[in-house]
Structure 1
Amino acid sequence: MYGAGSTTTPPTTPPTTPPTTPPTTPPTTPPGGTSADLTDPHKKEIAMELVSSAENSSLDWKSQYTYIEDIGDGRGYTAGIVGFCSGTGDMLDLVRHYTDLKPGNVLAPYLPALEKVNGSASHTGLDPNFEAAWHTAAKDTVFQRAQNDERDRVYFNPAVSQAMSDGLHALGQFAYYDAIVMHGPGDDPTSFGGIRKTAMKKAKTPAQGGNETTYLNAFLDARAAAMKTEEAHSDTSRVDTEQRVFLNNGNLNLNPPLQWKVYGDPYTIND
């Protein structure tokens, strides 16, 4: 997840400019598959299940709204559907957004503490009741909506937009999304932007006239190398026995049925 992977601290104030809307023209369909971008609701659901298999050992991503723990990675609490972290700013932005949608919510009193602990592993001002408050908030559909909104604003929309600009089909769009969730949207070598730059030194994107499979192999190589720089992410099975399997099968459109393994556990999406 982002808090468990990036060394770049995002801004503590949400940007006023919404993320770029992905282009509406899909890339050319490769032979032997039905093309749909990750913005398609069914493909987006597949993407969420794939991420959840790696992050939570379950395809039931919606059960993760209530998830919260300190995983000991130096980034404070990790919580929610994409691992919002108290130490990296995205949890602060999430609770701010929730409070904009629903003033006086159960997490609103923790905003001053979240501002103070941002950039650190500290729980000062959060313990002992923050986890319980998070679980309570997670039952609120407004908080669930807030998590979805921030997932899309910070991670999903920028990743898919960039992938589409690079001429990538659904698998490549997912590879970008999974990377930005874990590594964050920064430009340092182990953040999403840096991983993409490393890949582009090895291969051209389809938009640059390159071969899509060749480029995606270069991207996954760069992603795996970035993961190995941090002990918490040194198991690269979400690349090796998930995304690389789909790529080797030529499934650039990420069409089911899909079979993969993460940490040795098998998963299947049939439709």
Structure 2
Amino acid sequence: MIAPALVALSLTLSAVPAGPAATAPAAGLAGAHKKDIAMRLVSSAENSSLDWKAQYGYIEDIKDDRGYTAGIIGFCSGTGDMLKLVELYTRRKPGNVLAKYLPALRRVDGTASLKGLAPRFPADWRRAAKDPAFQRAQNDERDRVYFDPAVRRAKQDGLRALGQFVYYDAMVMHGPGADRLSFGGIRKAALAKARPPARGGNEVTYLNAFLDARKAAMRAEEAHEDTTRVDTMQRVFLKNRNLDLRPPLTWKVYGDRYTIKK
């Protein structure tokens, strides 16, 4: 027989309303809505627009010693990721408008050279960007090279959605390498200053250390020395303790103000 006191306790507990949704574990950055928010945040910094889907056809030489920068996360002709993207697109759709540039992309890989690409490549890139197959290829390479590795590493470090975005944005700008100016080197510098949550550290303290290391890496490259995407975007969210990256979000990049309401 259940004691009367336990029955009363059970009835009392069952009558207590469920806690607010905020008490439930928040979805990480890989959830569809949070991923779209991440893409809009990156686009505000990379393209001065929240409409990231309008950037498939973006392409220019921004004079950062990486050749052409193009597409939804800035694939570069000088860093290999643009080459991999066009190779993927060509495997899926042989004879596409960019396939003829593969020899030139292989030759300029690792350099700032536009030889064999200029002046026609940008126009052909914009033509290809209207093809859903090329858009899917950009999405898939973004995920394979940048988004998925960043989110996976952040989860291993015990970071929530904001930390996952901080890693993703760093990987987009600096690349996933291990040298001091790449994502791996930035993370190594942060780990020398603070422990991530997975190692018993404080999440805010660690993310501040990571952003400090990120700013140092940005300032080491002339093309990236403007650090407002850290100072007036990511650091603002962190100061507000918005570790789950919950809207509404308001920030500035390069002096322009943006808001995501939901």
Provide TM-score, normalisation by structure 1: 0.87
More helix by share: 2
Is 2:242 the counterpart of 1:227? Answer: no
* Superposed counterparts of 1:1-271, under 5 Å: 35-271=26-262
| 8 Å CA contact 1:187, 1:194 repeated in 2 | yes
1:67-91 residue CA offsets vs partner (Å, 9 max, x unmatched): 0111111111111011111111110
Q: What amino acid is aligned across from residue 157 of structure 1 in structure 2?
A: D
Measure, in 1, the Cα distance between the counterparts of 2:195 and 2:46: 30
Gaps of 5+ in 1: 1-30
Q: Is residue 63–residue 223 contact of structure 2 (8 Å, CA) maintained in 1?
A: no
Q: Quick one: distance in 2 between partners of 1:86 and 1:45?
A: 26
Tell me, in whole angstroms, the C-alpha distance in 2 between the residues paired with 1:74 and 1:207: 37
Q: Distance in 2 between matches of 1:233 and 1:33?
A: 38
SS state at 2:37 partner = helix
In 1, the alpha carbon distance for the partners of 2:24 and 2:220 equals: 36
- Higher-Rg member (1/2): 2
C-alpha deviations, 1:87-129, integer Å up to 9, x for none?
Answer: 1111000000000111110000110111111111112111221
- Any idea what the Cα deviations from partners look like across 1:199-230, whole Å, max 9, x if unmatched? 01111010001010110111011111111111
- Structure 2 distance, partners of 1:169, 1:232, is 29
Q: C-alpha distance in 2, partners of 1:266/1:200?
A: 32
Which fold has the larger relative contact order, with Cα–Cα distance below 8 Å and residues 6 or more apart in sequence? Answer: 1
Cα distance change on mapping 1:242 and 1:33 into 2, 3 Å: farther
SS in 2 for 1:149: helix
Distance 1:50 1:220 in 2: 16
1:253 maps to a residue whose letter is D
TM-score, length of structure 2 as denominator length: 0.90
How big is each residue's C-alpha offset from its partner over 1:135-154, in whole Å with a ceiling of 9 and x where there is no partner? 10000000000000000000
Deviations 1:182-211 (A, max 9, x none): 000011111100000100111101000101
Looking at structure 2, the residues matched to 75 and 210 of structure 1 have their Cα atoms a distance apart, in angstroms, of 36
Calculate percent identity across the aligned residue pairs: 72
Distance 1:165 1:223 in 2: 19
What CA distance in whole angstroms lies between the structure 2 residues aligned with 1:33 and 1:181? 30
Q: Secondary structure at the match of 1:202?
A: coil
Can you give the 5+ residue segments of structure 2 that lack an aligned partner in the other structure? 1-21
